[in-house]
Amino acid sequence: MIKLLIYEDNPQLREGLSMLISGSDGFEVLAAFKNCENVVDEVEAFNPDVILMDIDMPGVNGLEGLKRIRAVNTNVKILMLTVFDDNKNIFQAISNGANGYILKKTPPAKLLEYIAEAKTGGAPMTASVATQVLKMFSSMNNEKGEDYNLSEREKQVLQLLVDGYSYKMIAGEMFIAIDTVRSHIKKIYEKLHVNSKSEAVAKAFKDKIV
Amino acid sequence: MIKLLIYEDNPQLREGLSMLISGSDGFEVLAAFKNCENVVDEVEAFNPDVILMDIDMPGVNGLEGLKRIRAVNTNVKILMLTVFDDNKNIFQAISNGANGYILKKTPPAKLLEYIAEAKTGGAPMTASVATQVLKMFSSMNNEKGEDYNLSEREKQVLQLLVDGYSYKMIAGEMFIAIDTVRSHIKKIYEKLHVNSKSEAVAKAFKDKIV
DNA sequence: GGGTATTTAACATGTTTATGTGATTTGCTG
DNA sequence: CAGCAAATCACATAAACATGTTAAATACCC
């Protein structure tokens, strides 16, 4: 028997979900609330397996509710419910430890399936949500385009700068004269359009040159 | 009618998948191959809607096949097939533009469902795979622990250092004497355990202080 | 073969940083 | 209230850095 709590401000949807889930074998709705004001106490009192949490609620919204629960309970599974498969909310929810993210238009049969999956440790999500997640994922570690045409030797010097080496130390490390180090660094500054060591270091991090 | 290509080295599984999918209404398997040697030509010749791609194949494996296809075709939907919900492969596949990631043990009914979802732009994934993805996601932008106890003013100075300001410029920006800037920076160096501007900048990036 | 980029190096000059020492004011805390 | 951290400023000195100019050896491309 999977025990649930529901948070949803729309009365029709709240009742509908409760009826649907309660009427299904193996599911039990412990209670349904219209906001997250007392979410921490309620979760503690009812000790559910899974929580259905609407994102858009007046007052304390679903994301805030999620955070409050996670602050005291990392165990209960939380499925976020929303009408939109919108980027920002998904990201926020994931970062704050939601176990799944499903659309309200999800058909009843699938909803029950998702709840069951969440209970057993899966992270159910609508295919359209998964698309968003994948897009975010691949966009966030895309290698930077600009490479500024640094030569091999210049890249080495820049790496050592980033690692906190002084000119003298770089000269020692690379077995070249300190004036040669200066030459390289002048060239690097030209190519990166900077004019100080720390700017070069900052740019190296920002543009993932190192 | 959804047209598919299958890449799978295991003959039984390859045949089984072909039979299963061909025998279902609305699906047509154009061909099934045991490796990705000629994947580019084959995709071009058959022009499928969806490709089922096994990850672990001898010779040219699924990830390599995925890359080769994406190099010339960003349109066809590619579902990766694997026995493991293993972290590294998932990440690789996502980065290289896979549209979904499903386990071989996925029951037939669900498999067909996933294929249909992929065709319409969704990103189907098994709940256990989604769990991995979400974990990766939340682990990759976890805030750094150490905050080094920088005071408000010190944080401002550090921010300006990161932005490439000289002491003089910082003094101007913050309406304080240059010697005060020095004082702050000395304190910052103590707290960060560094002894140069560029090291401080590097540390600021590494530890996400800024 | 001549133009171009890379790597190496030297010399000079001025600016910026790093470090030490010391001091005053403010506000918080036990 | 005494003590402490934070923020402010001053003076001094040495080291590190930025910039300009010049130039030789090597290598690659059209």
Residue B145 has pLDDT above 60, yes or no: no
Q: Residue B163: is its pLDDT beyond 80?
A: yes
Q: Which residues of B touch A97 (CB under 8 A)?
A: 138
- Give per-residue pLDDT as tens, B119-136: 988 888 887 778 777 777
Kindly list the residues from chain B whose CB atom is less than 8 angstroms away from the CB atom of residue A130. 100, 122-125, 130
For residue A153, say whether its CB is under 7 Å from any atom of strand C.
yes
The three-state DSSP-derived secondary structure of A124-171 is: CECHHHHHHHHHHHHHHCCCCCCCCCCCHHHHHHHHHHHCCCCHHHHH
| Dist CA B94 CA B18 (whole Å) | 25
Supply the DSSP symbol for B125.
B
Q: Do A201 and B202 touch (CB under 8 A)?
A: yes
Interface residues, strand D, Cβ cutoff 7 Å: A 166-168, 179, 182-183, 185-186, 189, 195-198; B 149, 151-154, 174, 176-177, 179-180, 182-184, 187, 196, 198
Give me the pLDDT at residue B208, please: 76
Q: Would you state the pLDDT for residue A144?
A: 59
* Other Cβ atoms closer than 10 A to A36: 25
Letter for the amino acid at B26? Answer: G
Tens of pLDDT, residues B42-52 = 999 999 999 99
B205 contact residues in A (CB cutoff 8 A)? 201-202, 205-206
Q: In degrees to the nearest 10, what's the CA dihedral of B65, B68, B72, B73? A: 30
**Residue A85 above 80 pLDDT?**
no
Q: What is the pLDDT of residue A183?
A: 95
Which pLDDT does position B169 carry in this prediction?
A: 96
- A11-42 pLDDT tens trace: 999 999 999 999 999 999 999 999 999 999 99
A177 touches strand C (CB under 7 A): yes
Residues 6+ apart with CB under 8 A from B157: B170, B174, B181, B184, B185, B188
Residue B164 to residue A197, Cβ atoms within 8 A: no
Residue B208 and residue B202: Cα distance in Å, rounded?
A: 10
Nucleotide nearest to B170 (CA to C1'): C16
Band (pLDDT 50/70/90 cuts) for residue A142 is: low
Band (pLDDT 50/70/90 cuts) for residue A140 is: low
Instruction: Name the percent of chain B lying above pLDDT 90.
Output: 66
The more confident residue out of B11 and B86 is: B11
CA–CA separation, A73 and B41 (whole Å)? 53
Residue B70 vs residues A142, B36, B48, B81: alpha-carbon distances, Å? 15, 13, 14, 17
From first CA to last CA, the distance across chain B in angstroms is 53
Over residues A113-126, the pLDDT tens digits come to 999 989 988 888 88
Q: Number of C-alpha atoms within 13 angstroms, CB side, residue A180?
A: 12
Q: CA-to-CA distance for B101 and A208, rounded, in angstroms? A: 29
How many A-B residue pairs are in contact by the CB < 8 A criterion? 109
Distance from CA of A9 to the nearest CA of B (A): 27
| pLDDT for A87 beyond 80 | no
Instruction: Answer for the pair B57, B8: CB distance below 8 angstroms, yes or no.
Output: yes
Closest partner CB to B201 (pick from A114, A131, A202): A202
B122 and A121 in contact by Cβ < 8 A? no
What pLDDT is attached to residue A199? 96
- Rounded CA separation B37/A183 (Å): 48
CA distance B29 to B13: 14
Nucleotide nearest to B198 (CA to C1'): C17
In B, minimum Cα distance to A196 occurs at: B164
CB of B6 within 8 A of CB of B14?
A: yes
Confirm whether any atom of chain C, the nucleic acid strand, is less than 7 Å from CB of B182. yes
Distance from CA of B174 to the nearest CA of A (A): 19
Q: Check pLDDT > 60 for residue A145.
A: no
Residue B141 has pLDDT above 70, yes or no: no
N- to C-terminal Cα separation, chain A: 53
| pLDDT surpasses 70 at A192 | yes
Rounded to two decimals, what is the model's pTM?
0.68
Which residues lie below 8 Å from residue B24, measured CB to CB, with a gap of 6+?
B112
- B49-63, B86-100, B156-170: segment of lowest average pLDDT: B86-100
Statement: residue B31 has pLDDT above 60: yes
pLDDT tens track for A63-82: 999 999 999 999 999 999 98
Task: Give, in order, the Cα–Cα distances in Å from B145 to each of A124, B70, B148, B162.
Answer: 30, 39, 9, 20
